[in-house]
Amino acid sequence: MNAPLPRGVCPPLAVPEAPPRFEAEERQPPRLLVSVRDAAEALQAAAAGAAIIDAKEPALGALGAVPAEELQRIVRALRAAGHGQPVSATIGDGPWDEAALEARVRATAACGVQWVKVGAGPGEARSVVALGRLQARLRAEQTAAEAAGPARPLPDWLGLVPVLLADEGLESCRLNAARAGGFPAVMLDTADKRGGSLLARRPLAELQAFVQTVQAHGAWAGLAGSLRTEDLPALRSLAPDLLGFRGAACAAGRSGTLDGTRVAALRAALG
């Protein structure tokens, strides 16, 4: 059984009374990330306009991992059909010790994805720090491989993405670890999908503080967690870089089958 890394005590994220807002002309529409469980769904999502194809098995938890064989099929199918969207994938629900974390990340990256997403729950700031160390090692390996010649042992990926699970809030040390890790993106999500939308569970000021803190350190800020179509006006006002959907893109909830028309509607609503 994988043991979690040591946990620390950390205060909640400080939220300004009136955090500054982005002016409309400064904002770009959020990019649409759609979670898919197989190659057929991936092709639907890509054709309907998803900006990032996210491989995830909803039957296995909030961050359930798609089997490696299916993940490889997803990547091959997208490229064979001429779709160039980046592919992200989760490694499964943790917690993980450092050795297991590295093994899962490397195995997932080897399937040809561009982002590997790793969850971090409350009290797991040290897990995020460990993920940052792994990110640095992998980047160094890739830089060395690129200098050595065209045969590279690592995929042409963008990096690791911590997913901070914040059903009951986000303590400052987890966010501080994430923003200091040199990650291309940081996402905020929920673990319990039965509890409703992220917007129904966390105040807008807290979500905006997360978005602005991540963006101030040069990373993309992403929001996910049972997001609904009716949440889009409020979500857009927060100016995140990514919005992740599964349930709202399916005809019968997150465990159902992806519906390309719903994906297209989400894409159109984002502008």
Show me where the domains of the chain are located: 27-270
What top-level class would CATH report for the domain 27-270? alpha beta
Residue 36: alpha-carbon gap to chain centroid: 13
Quick one: 13 exposed, middle or buried, by C-beta within 10 A (0-12, 13-18, 19+)? buried
* pLDDT tens for the 271 residues of the chain, in order: 344 444 445 666 554 443 333 333 355 899 999 999 999 999 999 999 999 999 999 999 999 999 999 999 999 999 999 999 999 999 999 888 999 999 999 999 999 999 999 999 998 999 999 999 999 998 888 788 777 766 555 455 669 999 999 998 898 999 999 999 999 999 999 999 888 999 999 999 999 999 999 999 999 999 999 999 999 999 999 999 999 999 999 998 888 999 999 999 999 999 8
Taking the model in full, what pTM does it have? 0.88
**In the Cβ-directed half-sphere of 114, how many Cα atoms lie within 13 Å?**
13
Where in the sequence numbering do the catalytic residues fall?
56, 117
